[in-house]
Amino acid sequence: MPENVPRVPTFFPPQNGQLARLQQALTLAAVAMALGLAWWIWPHSKLGAALAATALLFAYAPVMAFELMLVAAFHGRDPAPRPTWQELLRAWWGEVALAPRVFAWRQPFRSSQWPDTATGQSMGMNPPARAVVFIHGFVCNRAFWHPWMLELRKRNVPYASVSLEPVFGSIDGYLDQVEEAVERAHASTGLPPLLICHSMGGLVARAWMARDPNNSARIHRVVTIGTPHRGTWLARFSHLPNGRQMRQACGWLNQLAELEAAARPMALYEHFTCWYSNADNVVFPSSTATLPGADNRLVRGTAHVALAFHPRVMRESLAMVASAASSPMERTAS
């Protein structure tokens, strides 16, 4: 552990799960294929061998470029600002550079690097900080949040996280995992925690809140980052259970909205902050990541995964955590 990171009490981290093993296999297979291709071409052309291996390892880059072309093509009358080509290019380059760190290193090989902070600890702060619950998105695990975990450990702020599995299951099957994390986060401070969610994780949080009318009172605030609150155009091609639940105007999303309206007919989303981008290559049209009455905050020219680590998103979201520490305890769960 770096010397400037305080040693805080920890919760036993989970063992590598289904997704970590899958991504380990895919990463090692891709590296082996790239090395084999380079070895085969090397006697004929050293430059050709290097280019072929690089093209194989970065085969996802043109896919991301195509997704961003779809963002521009299907913007339509969306009220978010139409992305410029410079913004799309910046979003593409940032996502291409970030993806290997998340999907080929952190998630497959480092899912237990930063354990959750332990239950029953106030962390010695006065007033005690509210804990954070991290809920990741589709085809991710708790390691997605490593940069956030590091920042909270520096600030002695407790947190709990989940690794939602089965990876390709129904969103409704993840709710017990969220329940356990919320209970653990509450126990660490005695205060309702904040939920910070990326992509599908925001829908998981909403489904958990809708399951029990009392759950809204058990949390202080919900921050969603690139969440397809009203579905995403891209989900029409998914036939996975959780993928189908993210289709625009699908029955599951409509039912979720009805449950929320019945539980909280007034100021339905006032305790939500929704980050969204006009260059999100996964959740588009852009405004599908917003909620009516929520604190909707736009970040221009940033793609889906990079949005979760954008300096403004992290800075302002962490400021909410800090300000929540001294806020009234009117939402304390009974």
* 123-148 pLDDT per residue, tens: 455 556 799 999 999 999 999 999 99
SS (H, E, C) 77-93: CCCCCCCCHHHHHHHHH
Q: Beta strand pairing status for 159-161 and 272-277? A: unpaired
Q: Which two tokens stand for residue 96?
A: 């291409």
Binned at pLDDT 50, 70 and 90, residue 7 comes out as very low
- For 213-225, how does the pLDDT look when each residue is reduced to its tens digit (9 = 90+)? 999 999 999 999 9
Q: Any long-range contacts for 96-103 (C-beta under 8 Å, 24+ apart)?
A: 96/58, 96/60, 96/61, 96/64, 98/305, 98/306, 98/309, 99/60, 99/64, 99/305, 102/140, 102/144, 102/305, 103/23, 103/27
CATH number of the domain at 132-325, please? 3.40.50.1820
The mean-pLDDT minimum among 6-15, 46-55, 90-99, 267-276 falls in 6-15
Q: Which two tokens stand for residue 178?
A: 């969220």
Residue 264 pLDDT: 81
Q: Which helix (H) or strand (E) holds 221?
A: strand 221-225
Q: In percent, how much of the chain has pLDDT > 90?
A: 83
- Gap between the Cα atoms of 119 and 136, Å rounded: 21
Q: Any long-range contacts for 251-258 (C-beta under 8 Å, 24+ apart)?
A: 252/171, 253/203, 256/203, 256/206, 256/207, 256/210
Is residue 308 scored above 60 in pLDDT? yes
- Gap between the Cα atoms of 134 and 1, Å rounded: 21
- Gap between the Cα atoms of 149 and 140, Å rounded: 15
Binned at pLDDT 50, 70 and 90, residue 118 comes out as low
Find the mean pLDDT for residues 92-103: 98
Is residue 266 scored above 90 in pLDDT? no
Q: Which two tokens stand for residue 191?
A: 């205060």
Q: Which of 260, 265, 236, 240 is nearest to 250 (CA)?
A: 236
Q: Beta strand pairing status for 272-277 and 295-299? A: parallel
Residue 329 pLDDT: 46
Residue keyed to tokens 């909410």: 320
Binned at pLDDT 50, 70 and 90, residue 100 comes out as very high
The mean-pLDDT minimum among 89-93, 97-101, 188-192, 294-298 falls in 188-192
* SS3 of residue 267 by DSSP: coil
- For 45-71, how does the pLDDT look when each residue is reduced to its tens digit (9 = 90+)? 999 999 999 999 999 999 999 999 999
- For 68-87, how does the pLDDT look when each residue is reduced to its tens digit (9 = 90+)? 999 999 999 999 999 999 99
Q: Are the C-beta atoms of residues 203 and 256 closer than 8 Å to each other?
A: yes
- Gap between the Cα atoms of 85 and 48, Å rounded: 31
Region of residue 26 (phi > 0: left; psi between -120 and 50: alpha; otherwise: beta): alpha
Residue 22 pLDDT: 96
Q: What is the per-residue burial (b if ≥16 Cβ within 10 Å, else e) of 115-129?
A: bbbbbebebeeeebb
pTM for the model stands at 0.92
| Angle, alpha carbons 147-148-152 (nearest 5°) | 120
Residue 114 pLDDT: 87
Find the mean pLDDT for residues 253-272: 91
Q: Where are the domains of the chain?
A: 18-57, 132-325
Residue 24 pLDDT: 97
